């Protein structure tokens, strides 16, 4: 078992929490793990990106090699397309459909979604609507994580344990909302597939 994943999004969307959940879940299973992130100006709405790799055989590189990613998991539709050359031809792309339009020249959303729909394996989820159902727009990141579950190679309960442990220091209600968001994400993807 080995997964090379590119996480994509915009500063402030909670991308690094997803990376932490995946990391926790993979470690809990005794897998080898590498997770690489670009920090810096994240708080100011710029591009955020993280590479995460886990495997039952040793890993060496912190970075995913072009053409080898199994999955692009994105919290923003335009951002999901930024890293296509990393995705292997039969790789999957899972993205939130809600754009972050903090730039004047944001491309036409329908074109972007159309391009994603033409990819061999994809899931598009409206994480804002689902997160609302879960009780808080804050858990949109976990909705997308839930939607990506079929491609993660990790069991749902491992991911659940990861969510509990990453948000352990927070208000228990936040943990519950996040878990709800995650599960609704899993279901949304099931319906869409």
Partner 1 sequence: MSTRLLLGDEALAQGAIDAGLSGAFGYPGTPSTEITEYVQRSPEARSGAVRSHWTANEKTAVETALGMCYAGKRAMASMKHVGLNVAADPFINAAISGTNGGLLINVADDPSMHSSQNEQDSRLYTEIALVPCIEPANQQEAYDVPAYAFDFSERHRIPVLVRLTTRLAHSRAPVTLGSKRPQNELSAPTDRERFILLPSNARRSYDRLIRQQRDFLRESEASPFNRLVEGTDTSLGVIACGIAYNYVLEVTGGAPRFPVLKVGQYPLPLAAVERLLAQCSEILVLEEGYPYVESKLLGSPPRPSPVIRGRLSGDVPRTGELSPQSVASALGFPELQGLPASGAPVSRPPALCPGCPHADTCRVLNDALATRRETGRVFSDIGCYTLGALPPYGAIDTCIEMGASITMAKGASDAGLRPAIALIGDSTFAHSGMTGLLDCVNENSDVTIVIVDNSTVAMTGGQTSSAERRLVAICEGIGVQPAHLRVIEPLPGRHAENVAILEEEISHAGPSVIIARRECIQTLKRGSRRPADKGGGK
Please tell me whether residue 63 binds partner 1 under the rule CB under 8 A: yes
On whether the CB atoms of residues 73 and 94 are closer than 8 A, the answer is yes
From the list partner 1, ligand SF4, none, pick the one residue 107 interacts with, judged by a Cβ distance below 5 to 8 Å according to partner type.
Answer: partner 1
Tell me which residues in 39-98 interact with ligand SF4 (CB under 6 A). Answer: 43-44
Number of residues that bind ligand SF4 (CB under 6 A): 2
On whether the CB atoms of residues 76 and 8 are closer than 8 A, the answer is yes
From the list partner 1, ligand SF4, none, pick the one residue 169 interacts with, judged by a Cβ distance below 5 to 8 Å according to partner type.
Answer: none
Please tell me whether residue 39 binds partner 1 under the rule CB under 8 A: yes
- 15/71 with CB nearer ligand SF4: 15
Cross-strand partners of 122 = 93
CB of 69 to partner 1, least distance (A): 7
Q: Kindly give the residue spans of alpha helices, DSSP state H, lying in the chain.
A: 15-28, 77-81, 109-117, 127-134, 140-148, 156-166, 172-192
Cross-strand partners of 74 = 8, 95
Of the candidate residues 1, 56, 106, 172, the single one contacting partner 1 (CB under 8 A): 106
Choices 110-118, 138-146, 167-175, 185-193 (CB under 8 A): range interacting with partner 1: 110-118
Q: Cβ of 181: how many Cβ atoms within 10 Å?
A: 29
- 65/170 with CB nearer partner 1: 65
Measured CA distances, 137 to 14, 141, 168 (Å) = 11, 9, 19
Instruction: Rounding to the nearest 10 degrees, give the CA dihedral for residues 157, 161, 163, 167.
Output: 160
Residues sharing a CB contact under 8 Å with residue 37, sequence separation 6 or more, in sequence order: 16, 19, 48, 49, 50, 51
User: Which residues of the shown chain bind partner 1 in the complex (CB under 8 A)?
Assistant: 10-11, 23-24, 27, 32-41, 43-47, 58-69, 78-79, 81-82, 84-89, 91, 102-103, 105-107, 111-112, 115, 119
User: Which residues of the shown chain bind ligand SF4 in the complex (CB under 6 A)?
Assistant: 43-44
């Amino acid at each position: 078992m080995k997964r090379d994943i590119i996480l994509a999004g915009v500063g402030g969307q909670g991308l690094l929490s997803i990376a932490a959940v995946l990391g926790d879940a993979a470690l809990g299973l005794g897998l080898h793990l590498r997770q690489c992130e670009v920090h810096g100006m994240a708080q100011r709405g710029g591009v955020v990106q993280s590479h995460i790799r886990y495997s039952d055989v040793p890993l060496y590189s912190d970075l995913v090699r072009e053409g080898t990613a199994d999955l692009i998991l994105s919290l923003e539709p335009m951002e999901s397309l930024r890293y296509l050359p990393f995705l292997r031809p039969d790789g999957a792309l899972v993205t939130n459909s809600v754009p972050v339009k903090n730039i004047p020249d944001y491309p036409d959303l329908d074109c972007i979604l159309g391009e994603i729909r033409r990819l061999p394996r994809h899931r598009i989820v409206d994480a804002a609507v689902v997160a609302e159902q879960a009780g808080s727009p804050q858990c949109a990141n976990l909705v997308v994580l839930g939607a990506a579950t079929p491609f993660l190679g990790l069991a749902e309960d491992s991911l659940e344990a990861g969510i509990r442990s990453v948000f352990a220091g927070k208000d228990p209600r936040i943990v519950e909302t996040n878990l709800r968001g995650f599960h609704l994400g899993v279901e949304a993807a099931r319906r869409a597939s």
